[in-house]
Copies of this chain bind each other. A is one copy, B any other.
């Protein structure tokens, strides 16, 4: 079973050396507390929790799974104690306002922590993870009275929260939501309906569960414009904030899932359950969209977390297991065979995982700065900057969620592959990572949905390509600065320059054709998303390589010279062997829609 170690050196490289987080934090209204010392303390504290508490119950949690009995859910052995430690450490409130008991630190710190928790034990991470969406929704849309009722216990972690959107007949297409909310004389509502796929919908970790529920008011318009948002606690909350009478929301069953088996996925039956409206009537979906970006970046992190965890497991095995001799001659003549890591193809697999983890992490950390700046604009009541960063984050989000989760699956599968047949065996933990990772391209909007969001909503309709032009400006800046450099950074710079131009041209070609062919966006979207992801990851790996090269040339941190060289080598690998895939996606994105649309529905199979 892989032993998880938080990749603190890599994280600090991004935080301090590549993305200059100290300066970033210094510019934030809520950043003054986030000194380098405190950030280090947070990273190390989270690393300890993850390595010593969460990772050890990951495999056992998967094997045992959750238990359902007469409406009650028991989490796997050790989860309850671990959750207590999580709460006692104040981890839930890290980035939430001090007025509700949080530590008021920037959002990015919470995202750094999420990667470590997720890599150590994604199932466990789901419980506090779902609370984030619930807390963010309440923070933004609830009344002051509602906030003071729910937030202190949610921010402390004593209670957890959920997001109840999906119903049996609909997930993506929330226009089909049927759950009804009937107004009561006291201003409350009685909610009736069935919600499914509710992560953390029922469990034994917390004293109360606060559900955020999408439902329809009587006379609400059909479709997405008739959906409102409600808060429905498992236990009704007394005025003093204590959990009281059991509400009539009950767990009907939990799902038997491929993975994340330590995380309870509930069917919830609302049977005239008491709830309260939050935000304006019929504007529930609009409200949901506001926090969708952060929720989706939370899932994008899953790609990085599983890539890192699987890489660590595969690397350890590749150093330990001996098989055959390297084709270029014996490497360990004293042994009866060479370690796997000497074999070129094993190195290809390990480097693919490493590039995904390190490239993906940088993408997340860059987007996290945007998330911080967006929240900062809220604090400073600066609508212009808010919109600017909201757009920027809106561009990052589908690429990160869609692309990084797909790459996380690849990395997790590679981890199994390095283990050979042993990768298929439960005890080694590698197949669990692949199973746990598999959900990431499905929930919180499938890859197809991310792709439509990116190409349709963000690129074509929302900004007419401006978001691509803005991002590629960063690429061109990096490229120009290194265009004539010798060695790998120069090669990468020229590649980056070519890709920056190509990405804009691809966008333009699709934009021009989309007007004439309404099937084009759906037909090109996933390939466009993957193309964008590969190019963006290339940029962030080149950025790291360039910084490493500068630090090497300046003779800084000579004890880190091997580390810096590895950054350049990882990026070189990526440009040589992974980035060419962008060409295939570009080619497919530009293929005629005809090749997808011409087949009659009845002709797909003749059985």
Residues of A within 8 A of B (CB): 5, 7, 9-10, 63, 166, 170-173, 175-176, 197, 255-259, 311-312, 315, 319, 322-324, 326-329, 336-337, 339, 341-351, 354, 409, 413, 416-417, 420-421, 423-427, 431, 434-435, 438-439, 441-443, 446-448, 451-452, 456, 518-519, 521-523, 525-527, 562-563, 565-566, 569-570, 572-573, 576-578, 580-581, 583-584, 587-588, 591-607
Contacts and interface: CB of A to CB of B under 8 A. Distances in A.
The 8 closest A-B pairs by CB, nearest first: A344-B522, A580-B587, A576-B591, A258-B431, A328-B518, A256-B426, A5-B607, A566-B603
Q: How many copies does the complex hold?
A: 2
A577 to B, nearest CB: 4
Given A569-B603, A572-B594, A577-B588, 13 more contacts: A166-B421, A171-B323, A172-B420, A258-B426, A328-B519, A344-B596, A345-B523, A421-B443, A423-B442, A562-B602, A573-B595, A577-B595, A584-B584
Contact of A596 (B9, B348, B447, B591): B348
A601 B350 CA distance: 11
Nearest to A10: B606
Contact of A424 (B442, B597, B598): B442
* Most central of A172, A423, A607 by chain B CB within 10 Å: A607
A442 B170 CA distance: 37
Contact of A442 (B315, B346, B417): B417
Contact of A526 (B348, B420, B593): B348
Contact of A601 (B319, B328, B336): B319
Nearest to A588: B577
21 contacts: A171-B323, A176-B322, A255-B424, A256-B427, A258-B424, A258-B426, A311-B605, A326-B522, A344-B597, A347-B597, A349-B448, A350-B604, A420-B446, A424-B443, A572-B594, A572-B595, A577-B588, A577-B591, A580-B583, A581-B584, A583-B587
A330 to B, nearest CB: 12
Contacts of A346: 448
Given A327-B518, A421-B171, A596-B347, A604 B341 contact: yes
Contact of A343 (B522, B572, B583): B522
Contacts of A434: 258, 438
A9 B606 contact: yes
Nearest to A63: B256
Contacts of A175: 324, 336-337
* Most central of A259, A329, A346, A591 by chain B CB within 10 Å: A591
B604 A315 contact: yes
A171 B442 contact: no
B577 A525 contact: no
Contact of A416 (B442, B451, B518): B442
B327 A519 contact: yes
B522 A172 contact: no
A255 B431 CA distance: 13
Contacts of A336: 175-176
Nearest to A344: B522
A420 B442 contact: yes
Contact of A447 (B417, B423, B431, B594): B417
Given A563-B603, A597-B344, A604-B315, A421 B197 contact: yes
A171 B534 CA distance: 35
A191 to B, nearest CB: 22
Contacts of A519: 327-328, 344
Contacts of A413: 409, 438
Nearest to A525: B345
Contacts of A322: 173, 176
A518 to B, nearest CB: 4
A172 B323 contact: yes
Contacts of A341: 601, 604
A606 B563 contact: yes
Nearest to A445: B420
Nearest to A329: B518
Contacts of A588: 576-578, 580
Contacts of A525: 344-345
B442 A7 contact: no
Contacts of A578: 588
B562 A600 contact: yes
A35 to B, nearest CB: 24
A324 B351 CA distance: 40
B435 A417 contact: no
A166 B562 CA distance: 38
Given A591-B577, A595-B577, A604-B566, A442 B427 contact: no
A439 B526 CA distance: 27
Contact of A599 (B438, B566, B592): B566
A175 B330 CA distance: 15
Contact of A584 (B347, B448, B583): B583
A202 to B, nearest CB: 17
